[in-house]
Amino acid sequence: MNKSHDVAVLGLGYIGLPTASIFATKGKRVLGVDVVPAVVETINQGSIHIHEPDLDVLVRAAVQSGNLRAAIKPEPAEVFIVAVPTPFQVKADGSRVPDLSFVESAARSIATVVQPGNLVILESTSPVGTTEKIKAWLEDELAKLGRKVDGLLYAHCPERILPGQMLKELVSNDRIAGGLTPEASRKAKELYRCFCSADIVETDARTAEMAKLTENAFRDVNIAFANELSLVCDKLGIKVWELIKLANRHPRVKILQPGPGVGGHCIAVDPWFIVDSAPKEARLMRTAREVNDGKPDWVIGKVRAASAGLKDPSVACLGLAFKANIDDLRESPSLEIATHLADEGFKVWAVEPHVCELPKALQGKAELVGLEEALVKADILLLLVDHDAFKRIPPSTLMGKITIDTRGIWNSQ
């Protein structure tokens, strides 16, 4: 067997790679594990496969120091951190159920290398009870192998980082260390203290799991209020952007900005985990999800109405990412809208300055073009993401164009 690492991080995506790299730059011997060979090869070359400010510098430094290495399979380590995706599946009746297959696979994969006293940490945002399931899956796999490994510790330590500011927030944001035992909580807290300068609060695993889900469900409900308000204002002929500015002058009111929906792997997904766990009780959270999930259809309807009378209408979809100034397309309502418009027969000019090629959903259906070309060619300018590049479009350029602004950039000018 290989010499034991300090930390093994399973999953080298938007959460796992920054986490592995920052541990390595703090002197930990880190093994990053990913099932995609191209990802492993890229990281071992000191490069990155995702876009995040300054992450390339961090990864390069970590690899060059010899403290970070990537591999396809786990190797012995003192701590195993699971940072794999936790999506949901949509059933025939429209309900969403958590898909924990990646977590289960990761848990079972360490059965051949785990040693007595190792700490297993779940970082992936997961339904309540998932940390207990990791313990059960690992123990089941150990039994199949005929291995007896005593003293294993388990904890849930959810990340709270924002794409575009990951490296800063990894260090400066408070963390939760929720163990299946107090000892696991304490050990997890000690581990993250090597780079986290904020508070690290100990609790139990179930509370830690629910805390992360609650944070994102709270934000989802507040966004849903803004999105629903935009629908009401449209029906009543009121400018929602002006209305929100006026309402927010009240000292105890802070309405968020509406948009074309809600995307990303957190806010668009996590509330469904709560709804699935307590469907009769989580009525408000379910409704909020339905409001936000329904907003893309409303935007598509606006485009249809705007194109009435146009022959072979073309639409410039400005932005495909789920939020401004990043390349993350996961659960993006903007991508959903662009795809639906293309499927309906619209000529779609996709403008996304943070990607080099169209995602699979749009390949063969749309054309990825620069902003200047789209502004000239398109009949309809559909602003979906408030990227900085779009904020700099001169108002004079929009003259004579049909514009639909889902972010309030042009409407506020």
CA separation for the pair 110, 30 (Å, rounded): 15
Sole residue written with tokens 């203290």: 193
Phi, psi of 17 (to 5 degrees): -70, -50
With a cut of 60, say whether residue 264 has pLDDT above it: yes
Neighbouring-strand partners of residue 177: 202
Q: Do the beta carbons of residue 309 and residue 328 sit within 8 Å?
A: no
Mean pLDDT along residues 64-82: 98
With a cut of 90, say whether residue 360 has pLDDT above it: yes
Task: Tell me the whole-structure pTM to 2 decimals.
Answer: 0.90
Cα–Cα distances in angstroms (integers) from residue 358 to residues 48, 238, 317, 350, 370, in the given order: 19, 36, 12, 8, 12
Q: Which amino acid is at 303?
A: V
- Rg of the Cα trace of the chain? 23
Q: What is the number of other CB atoms lying within 10 angstroms of the CB of residue 306?
A: 18
Phi, psi of 119 (to 5 degrees): -105, 130
Tell which residue, 184, 125, 194, has the closest CA to residue 160. 125
pLDDT of the residue at 162: 79
Q: Which amino acid is at 229?
A: L
Mean pLDDT along residues 383-407: 93
State which CATH number among 3.55.10.10, 3.30.110.30, 3.40.50.720, 3.40.50.300 fits the domain covering 5-207.
Answer: 3.40.50.720
Q: pLDDT tens digits, residue range 295-350?
A: 999 999 999 999 998 999 999 999 999 999 988 898 999 999 999 999 999 999 99
Q: pLDDT tens digits, residue range 81-94?
A: 999 999 998 888 77
Mean pLDDT along residues 6-34: 97
Could you please state the CATH topology (level 3) that the domain comprising 215-405 is classified under: Rossmann fold (3.40.50)
- Could you tell me the pLDDT band of residue 35, with boundaries at 50, 70 and 90? very high
Q: What is the number of other CB atoms lying within 10 angstroms of the CB of residue 396?
A: 7
Q: pLDDT tens digits, residue range 193-230?
A: 999 999 999 999 999 999 999 999 999 999 999 999 99
Report which DSSP code applies to 398: G
Fold equal for 5-207 and 215-405: yes
266 assigned to active site: yes
CA separation for the pair 398, 48 (Å, rounded): 37
Q: What is the number of other CB atoms lying within 10 angstroms of the CB of residue 272?
A: 25
Tell which residue, 69, 21, 188, 175, has the closest CA to residue 118. 188
- Any residues with CB less than 8 A from the CB of 46 and at least 6 apart, and which? 59, 60, 63, 64
Q: What is the number of other CB atoms lying within 10 angstroms of the CB of residue 204?
A: 18
With a cut of 90, say whether residue 254 has pLDDT above it: yes
- Could you tell me the pLDDT band of residue 161, with boundaries at 50, 70 and 90? confident
Q: Which amino acid is at 227?
A: N
Q: pLDDT tens digits, residue range 106-146?
A: 999 999 999 999 999 999 999 999 999 999 999 999 999 99
128-132, 245-249, 267-271: lowest mean pLDDT where? 267-271
pLDDT of the residue at 1: 41
CA separation for the pair 409, 226 (Å, rounded): 16
Q: Where are the beta strands (DSSP E) in 180-321?
A: 200-204, 314-318
Q: Do the beta carbons of residue 155 and residue 187 sit within 8 Å?
A: yes
Which member of 157, 189, 196, 266 is catalytic?
Answer: 266
**CA torsion, ordered 378, 380, 381, 382, to nearest 10 deg:** -130
365 assigned to active site: no
- Residue 238: left if φ>0, alpha if ψ -120 to 50, beta else—which one? beta
Which member of 135, 187, 189, 212 is catalytic?
Answer: 212
Residue ranges per structural domain of the chain = 5-207, 215-405
Q: What angle do CA 407, 238, 257 make, to 5 degrees?
A: 30
